[in-house]
């Protein structure tokens, strides 16, 4: 039995992505009689869900946790809902695509709730001393796309697999790199961060709570 964990490849000016690092770090771990399978999705609107679908079909997971970077957030953000919108804002994907106010799937639901035990996960993380909160918006970029598209797919296929999305903060190393553009020496603030080991612990607990429900 497997637990599917996905992260995203680096994007923008970054050469690393904590979500990719967590997926690779936890890949192959045993948890509650299950094996965590870590996979990395492309940061491309036209390819990310197809990769996710292929991983689901290949691994037939008991639960799915997708992750991505939310630079600037101070803790673990457990997303409550994905909405039927693709909008890249000021950040094109890695193929240069810049969708604006587009529907992910025409004629389908406006949104899908995560089916992970969102509140229980956050409570468990806080009990463990890991900064975390329930988030009511996953944005409109590929993190939201992963949550909405995967939940929509599971509904269409009538697959009872708990699934949700977790936004991760910067690692200290990534926050330091972001500060090298002058913020660190000009009096501006530096982005909050969390060590990779704590981010990994948060994802383990997310799966733990999901398996308990």
Residues carrying an active site annotation: 79, 143, 167
123 exposure class (CB count in 10 Å sphere: 0-12, 13-18, 19+): middle
- Phi and psi at 7, nearest 5°, equal -125, 180
CA gyration radius, the chain = 16
Within the chain, strands assigned E span: 2-8, 30-31, 34-41, 63-69, 76-79, 81-83, 111-113, 132-135, 163-168
CA angle at residue 138 from 137 to 140, to 5 degrees?
A: 105
- CA–CA gap between residue 170 and residue 177 (Å, rounded): 10
Question: What stretch of H or E contains 205?
Answer: helix 196-212
For residues 153 and 48, give the distance between their C-alpha atoms in angstroms, rounded to a whole number. Answer: 13
Do the Cβ atoms of 3 and 34 come closer than 8 Å?
yes
């Amino acid at each position: 039995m497997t637990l599917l964990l996905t992260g995203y490849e680096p994007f923008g000016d970054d050469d690393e992505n904590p979500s990719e690092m967590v997926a690779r770090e936890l890949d192959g771990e045993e948890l509650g009689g299950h094996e965590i399978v870590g996979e990395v999705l492309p940061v491309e609107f036209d390819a990310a869900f197809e990769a996710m679908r292929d991983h689901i079909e290949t691994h037939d997971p008991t639960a799915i946790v997708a992750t991505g970077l939310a630079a600037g957030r101070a803790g673990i953000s457990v997303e409550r809902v994905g909405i039927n919108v693709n909008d890249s804002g000021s950040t094109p994907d890695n193929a240069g695509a810049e969708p604006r106010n587009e529907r992910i799937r025409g004629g389908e639901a406006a949104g899908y709730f995560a089916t992970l035990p969102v509140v229980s996960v956050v409570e468990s993380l806080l009990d463990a001393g890991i900064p975390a909160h329930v988030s009511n918006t996953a944005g409109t970029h590929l993190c939201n796309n992963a949550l909405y598209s995967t939940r929509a797919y599971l509904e269409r296929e009538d697959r009872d697999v708990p699934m949700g999305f977790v936004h991760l903060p910067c690692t200290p190393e990534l926050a330091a790199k972001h500060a090298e553009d002058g913020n660190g020496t000009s009096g501006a603030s530096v982005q909050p961060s969390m060590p990779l080991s704590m981010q990994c612990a948060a994802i383990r607990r997310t799966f733990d709570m999901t398996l308990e429900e």
